[in-house]
Structure 1
Amino acid sequence: MIVYHGSIEQVETPEIREANRALDYGNGFYTTTSEEQATLWVRRKLKGTGGKGYVNVYEWDEACASGLDVLHFTEPTEEWLDFVMANRTDMNYHHAHDIVWGPVANDRVYAAFALYEGGLLNKQELIKELKTYVLVDQLLFHTLRSLACLKFKEAKEVCL
Structure 2
Amino acid sequence: MKVYHGSLEVVEHPMILRPNRKLDYGEGFYTTTSEKQSKEWAERRMLEKHSDCGYVNIYEFDETKISEFKSLIFTEPGKEWAEFVLANRTQKGFTHDYDIVYGPVANDKVYIQFSLYESGVISIETLIRELKTYKLVDQYLFHTEKALKALNFIEAIKIG
What is the TM-score with the length of structure 1 in the denominator?
A: 0.95
Aligned partner of 2:93 in structure 1 is: 92
- The amino acid that maps onto 2:107 is N
Q: CA deviation at 1:52?
A: 0.3
Q: CA deviation at 1:114?
A: 1.5
Aligned partner of 2:9 in structure 1 is: 9
Q: How well do the aligned residues superpose, as a CA RMSD in angstroms?
A: 1.2
- The amino acid that maps onto 1:147 is L
Aligned partner of 2:73 in structure 1 is: 72
Task: Answer yes or no: is 1:129 the counterpart of 2:130.
Answer: yes
What is the TM-score with the length of structure 2 in the denominator?
A: 0.95
Task: Answer yes or no: is 1:83 the counterpart of 2:84.
Answer: yes
C-alpha separation between the residues in 1 aligned to 2:45 and 2:16? 20
C-alpha separation between the residues in 1 aligned to 2:47 and 2:80? 34
Aligned partner of 2:63 in structure 1 is: 62
Q: CA deviation at 1:18?
A: 1.5
Q: CA deviation at 1:120?
A: 1.4
C-alpha separation between the residues in 2 aligned to 1:21 and 1:35? 23
C-alpha separation between the residues in 2 aligned to 1:122 and 1:151? 41
Aligned partner of 1:29 in structure 2 is: 29
- Contact kept, 8 Å, 1:59 with 1:152, in 2: the verdict is yes
- The amino acid that maps onto 2:157 is K
- Contact kept, 8 Å, 1:25 with 1:140, in 2: the verdict is yes
Q: CA deviation at 1:19?
A: 1.8
- The amino acid that maps onto 2:10 is Q
Q: Paired residues, what number?
A: 159
- The amino acid that maps onto 1:98 is D
